[in-house]
A and B are shown apart, each in its own frame.
Chain A
């Protein structure tokens, strides 16, 4: 059993598990942080960005002024942003049987994996994961295609050149594996391979392995996965939360008794408390609005935004800001808000009970109805004529490199009245802001990451007691910025097995058993005998049938009767079939009872001689020797086959057959 690690990113994992005869990919996260090396894609022509100077090395030897631009003291790639893909060379992706998706953030690389690689398997995901994942992919594609870039910069990737570039470009890794965004066709084709599953549904893979998604409490439809056979159990924990937000709570007890637990997707901001951050978010927002400024919240179109809206729904009235408009701008804003209301089964109890009334589970329905929240597909169209200031705008992409957020950065960045509040933890906010410097707008960093922190995870592991834990390497040491915080790492006994990009781990499994079914006729024909108290054995002779990895034992066919013909003589000369081995024997042949048995069968003249290991019996009339020892019996008998077989059967009566 092996684990191939195709991504080193702890929260955007992509691992491949080889388990029994199956090859299972666990998630395929897309690392979008690579986009931070690129210039923003403005929706409206930006004179500032278009006038940036090109980059030429100090000695003038390297001239990449077409590809690289200097902006606020940093060098950026002027091209369509690219993303860092999971490793494609470590194993043949066409051999993957299934892909299990744990949540919509961890499936963004799906089209790269399922298209153009020869992949022919199936993808398993819950319905909300599929629907919202689709929205996020479509959004990404729209962001890119709305602002087409003629050129794709590649010269800078040349190893010799990259080495000479200024940081942080110089230190970017695996740049040759970076790819630009996929197309809508590829998204549709990839998602057509998804098969929907429900929580606690047992899905059989080729009869060999059973996989089951369990609620992980992180986002709508997010799941952890159990991958098990009758004897081995692997738990895959990815992006789980114990906080009460909108999704169904995390299911923990089913993770118990795992042989191996693969742990990914812990919080990226272990030092920040999500509740505290939410408070800070509200107070900063209120302060800005009161001062007449606008608030920009760069965010994903699904997930924490639902919680933010719910929080503001209560907060705004109490803060006396009830008339402040909220705008949610995204090509999928409407869909995201609508979809969130129809997944009652996947929500926490509190929200679930609302649909019984029947009321929409999220209060943003009311915000929309009362015109407090308005959503637009983009800044073009109705939005430009309808929008009022001061306001709160939720829009993507949180990397600030593409999407409508780029426009608001240009629009509001110059005024210190405005505030940008970062809530998504995926990007370093300083890196995100780099191409917009110098910036007059206030910046507030309130990362809200509801995923498990180290304290929660160590308690969880104590409860569910996996035999072995596998995790990304960063979890086995304190964060680089806080080397003394040994509480911000996993300390386990035995120590966790750490992986990084391109690791191949052998998982400590010893498979010893497999499930087999005895047909009822066979089971009835067995003759158990008790060997010792509470332990019985029975010898089984049967025919094995294996089909689709399921094994069945059926009774051995009765030997075909020898045709009673002239051929009989020849038949006896045929050597016996080699296919019927005898059972093993165990036990001992005790002297006195054996002599009595011989006597009963008419053998009376027996001379017994004691030896070092037992006895030798001499059957004088028949001239046969029998050596009786504790663990052995030896019958020496010439020329009297009937007698030999009779003696054999007498001996066998004393022995157990296995």
Chain B
């Protein structure tokens, strides 16, 4: 029985280092290749030794697919391709291909240059890795090889994020990556057609959350920022350079303009302008409103938002700073945080999810004292607000996607086990489909039941459709008969006659002749006429002919009457039929033996 196997190497009942292996129709595909922000040791990367203990991965994988540029989805890519070894194709969308190497380089710098780690991938490795990337477009069907095809769908979430359909023959899997079912200020909503995959592998970051309307959250956010700035406080918003940052910038920019505010807004790292440039060039990936108006006004050209310099952090007076990275685990956002943490007038707004182990996660959990390097402790006095702006589907969105794609099975990854459990129950209840949530290294096997494609001769099909009529009768289904010819991997269904002809076989005629004696005191012709009338009344739905040459023909059964030589009243009825009319022939001979009704 054919089956599909799914094994998460990362993101199984966890958020971080997404990496999922899928075996489908003899093909092996790696979905995402991310890193875990919460770890600094081996657990940072997926455990590729699961694929092979020694040697390169190339011969074990048919392709690698990256859903979007976030590091928990692509951070281990150069490690996997250059240090473990993989030379096959890596698929991602154009924006992902453009932005991914920049974030990888950033990540590398922080890890190697700042933290001094060795045995890490190098800049050259990132470049070599990116050479293996094959960019693809939305909805383009990419034939990886003869049998394996993949197709990308819009996922929202971040610029260039995509969901992927993986298909071999009639079996298919859809992997969502991270997605968002509600359009935001700069991106559209995820969409997929009714592709009915055997398995839908979905993220479940917000498995138990149903978020209030985006408008409320936005108003709340602006209110908090405004209040802090009014009382002279500083607002720190840790973000990733691309994605949420642009959405919040658009939000603040329009608010500042409307309210005529003067407090400066800064954006840290030199990436800002570059990042905005990506948005301008990949404007076709943003939402409809931005796309429509970009010629008149490009939303990514900000008037109020300026580049940040390290020295500004000590400036007196209010300000708003967007700083990277988003989980406060390193870099500039952490530095600024350390400076501002002691003042209760200031505010920290966390607009996205923080994985376990990061400073962001600790603060959000209410920790008021943080241990820093060199045993110093940092007291957290500033106000902390968590506002979920990260563009993940919530429970409602996940259900909505299931309704769109109509999968036969569901598999959850990229979420916390407890929340998954809840969502799993809900999905199984509402859709009556199986839902799986394997842990890392655990394999889920789903048995598929694909139908068998066959070439049917058009003559046979048309004949059958004509006979069946436009609307099939559910109570009396018509049975179609054909011969399936199996030859050199081809399966063809043809009519039996055509099969004989094609195979160069001659038909073997099997005939039966049966004589039935009847007492009937009439002339031969009259007897035949009486037989005709009798059969007419019994066999309503058959074609019955009375041929002048002295025969009655029922379908292809021939009936003749001769008088017995000795006894004129004893008639001999001769029935002759072929095997194809066996049932009717048998029926008729039995019927006639009973005599004719008087």
Q: A191 → chain B, closest Cβ, in Å?
A: 13
Complex contact A634–B508 (CB within 8 A): no
Q: B21 → chain A, closest Cβ, in Å?
A: 26
Residues of chain B from 542 to 586 with CB closer than 8 A to chain A in the complex = 542, 555, 579-584, 586
Interface window among B312-320, B424-432, B474-482, B521-529: B474-482
Residues of chain A from 540 to 582 with CB closer than 8 A to chain B in the complex = 540-546, 551-553, 556-557, 573, 575-576, 578-582
Complex contact A515–B453 (CB within 8 A): yes
Contacts of A655 in B (CB 8 A): 508, 510
Q: A340 → chain B, closest Cβ, in Å?
A: 11
Contacts of A231 in B (CB 8 A): 455
Complex contact A537–B499 (CB within 8 A): yes
Complex contact A200–B140 (CB within 8 A): yes
Encode contact with B along A379-422: 1 for CB under 8 Å, 0 otherwise: 00000000000000000000000000000000000000000000
Residues of chain B from 479 to 501 with CB closer than 8 A to chain A in the complex = 479-488, 492-493, 496-497, 499-500
Judged by a CB distance under 8 angstroms, whether B134 is at the interface is no
Judged by a CB distance under 8 angstroms, whether A517 is at the interface is yes
Q: Whole-angstrom distance between the alpha carbons of A325 and B582 in the complex?
A: 94
Q: Whole-angstrom distance between the alpha carbons of A632 and B98 in the complex?
A: 75
Encode contact with B along A616-658: 1 for CB under 8 Å, 0 otherwise: 0000000000000001111111110100110010011001101
Q: Whole-angstrom distance between the alpha carbons of A52 and B286 in the complex?
A: 54
Contacts of A513 in B (CB 8 A): 455-458, 492
- Beyond A201-B140, A582-B579, whether A543 also contacts B483 by CB under 8 A is no
- Beyond A537-B483, A537-B499, A538-B483, whether A580 also contacts B583 by CB under 8 A is yes
Contacts of A206 in B (CB 8 A): none
Q: B154 → chain A, closest Cβ, in Å?
A: 11
Task: Considering the complex, give the chain A residue whose CB is closest to the CB of B588.
Answer: A575
Judged by a CB distance under 8 angstroms, whether A198 is at the interface is yes
Complex contact A342–B283 (CB within 8 A): yes
Q: Is the interface of B mostly helix, strand, loop or mixed?
A: mixed
Contact of A578 among B538, B541, B582 (CB under 8 A): B541
Task: Considering the complex, give the chain A residue whose CB is closest to the CB of B539.
Answer: A575
Residues of chain B from 55 to 107 with CB closer than 8 A to chain A in the complex = 94, 97-98, 101
Contacts of A589 in B (CB 8 A): 508
Complex contact B579–A517 (CB within 8 A): no
- Beyond A198-B139, A199-B137, whether A658 also contacts B295 by CB under 8 A is no
Judged by a CB distance under 8 angstroms, whether A511 is at the interface is yes
Judged by a CB distance under 8 angstroms, whether A61 is at the interface is no
Residues of A in contact, count (CB < 8 Å): 91
Encode contact with B along A211-231: 1 for CB under 8 Å, 0 otherwise: 010000000000000000011
- Beyond A528-B486, A537-B483, A579-B479, whether A658 also contacts B496 by CB under 8 A is yes
Judged by a CB distance under 8 angstroms, whether B254 is at the interface is no
Q: Whole-angstrom distance between the alpha carbons of A551 and B462 in the complex?
A: 11
Contacts of A603 in B (CB 8 A): none
- Beyond A534-B488, A537-B486, whether A639 also contacts B593 by CB under 8 A is yes
Complex contact A585–B508 (CB within 8 A): yes
Q: Is the interface of A mostly helix, strand, loop or mixed?
A: mixed
Complex contact A556–B479 (CB within 8 A): yes
Q: A487 → chain B, closest Cβ, in Å?
A: 37
Judged by a CB distance under 8 angstroms, whether A49 is at the interface is no
Q: A646 → chain B, closest Cβ, in Å?
A: 13
Q: Whole-angstrom distance between the alpha carbons of A164 and B458 in the complex?
A: 57
Judged by a CB distance under 8 angstroms, whether A358 is at the interface is yes
Judged by a CB distance under 8 angstroms, whether B514 is at the interface is yes
Task: Considering the complex, give the chain A residue whose CB is closest to the CB of B497.
Answer: A584
Complex contact B509–A543 (CB within 8 A): no
Judged by a CB distance under 8 angstroms, whether B506 is at the interface is yes
Contact of A635 among B135, B461, B465, B512 (CB under 8 A): B512
Judged by a CB distance under 8 angstroms, whether B454 is at the interface is yes
Complex contact B281–A358 (CB within 8 A): yes
Judged by a CB distance under 8 angstroms, whether A127 is at the interface is yes
Contacts of A356 in B (CB 8 A): 97-98, 101
Contacts of B510 in A (CB 8 A): 585, 632-635, 648, 651-652, 655
- Beyond A198-B139, A651-B510, whether A543 also contacts B480 by CB under 8 A is yes
- Beyond A541-B479, A556-B477, whether A584 also contacts B589 by CB under 8 A is no
Judged by a CB distance under 8 angstroms, whether A334 is at the interface is yes
Residues of chain A from 508 to 552 with CB closer than 8 A to chain B in the complex = 511-520, 523, 526, 528, 531-532, 534-546, 551-552
Complex contact B281–A355 (CB within 8 A): yes
Q: Whole-angstrom distance between the alpha carbons of A355 and B94 in the complex?
A: 9
- Beyond A355-B98, A518-B452, whether A585 also contacts B507 by CB under 8 A is yes
Judged by a CB distance under 8 angstroms, whether B336 is at the interface is no
Judged by a CB distance under 8 angstroms, whether B450 is at the interface is yes
Judged by a CB distance under 8 angstroms, whether A202 is at the interface is yes
Contacts of B511 in A (CB 8 A): 632-635
Q: Whole-angstrom distance between the alpha carbons of A361 and B94 in the complex?
A: 14
Q: Whole-angstrom distance between the alpha carbons of A198 and B94 in the complex?
A: 13
Q: B448 → chain A, closest Cβ, in Å?
A: 9
Q: A627 → chain B, closest Cβ, in Å?
A: 9
Q: B395 → chain A, closest Cβ, in Å?
A: 31
- Beyond A198-B138, A200-B141, whether A637 also contacts B512 by CB under 8 A is yes
Complex contact A633–B140 (CB within 8 A): no
Complex contact B281–A631 (CB within 8 A): no
Judged by a CB distance under 8 angstroms, whether B216 is at the interface is no
Q: Whole-angstrom distance between the alpha carbons of A537 and B515 in the complex?
A: 36
Judged by a CB distance under 8 angstroms, whether A322 is at the interface is no
Q: Whole-angstrom distance between the alpha carbons of A286 and B192 in the complex?
A: 54
Complex contact A578–B584 (CB within 8 A): yes
- Beyond A355-B98, A543-B479, whether A576 also contacts B584 by CB under 8 A is yes
Judged by a CB distance under 8 angstroms, whether B209 is at the interface is no
Complex contact B451–A517 (CB within 8 A): yes
Q: Whole-angstrom distance between the alpha carbons of A635 and B506 in the complex?
A: 19
Contacts of A658 in B (CB 8 A): 483, 496, 499-500, 505
- Beyond A578-B542, A658-B496, whether A551 also contacts B579 by CB under 8 A is no
Q: B382 → chain A, closest Cβ, in Å?
A: 35
Judged by a CB distance under 8 angstroms, whether B503 is at the interface is yes
Q: B561 → chain A, closest Cβ, in Å?
A: 15
Q: Whole-angstrom distance between the alpha carbons of A581 and B294 in the complex?
A: 68
Q: Whole-angstrom distance between the alpha carbons of A652 and B476 in the complex?
A: 29
Interface residues of A (CB under 8 A from B): 127, 197-202, 212, 230-231, 334-335, 338-339, 341-345, 352, 355-356, 358, 360-361, 511-520, 523, 526, 528, 531-532, 534-546, 551-553, 556-557, 573, 575-576, 578-589, 631-639, 641, 644-645, 648, 651-652, 655-656, 658
Can you list 5 residue pairs at the A/B interface with Cβ under 8 Å? A201-B140, A201-B141, A517-B451, A535-B503, A584-B497
Closest 6 CB pairs of A and B: A632-B509, A584-B496, A517-B451, A576-B583, A516-B456, A513-B455
Interface residues of B (CB under 8 A from A): 94, 97-98, 101, 135, 137-142, 151, 274, 277-278, 280-284, 294-295, 449-458, 461, 464-465, 468, 472, 476-488, 492-493, 496-497, 499-500, 503, 505-516, 538-542, 555, 579-584, 586-587, 589-591, 593
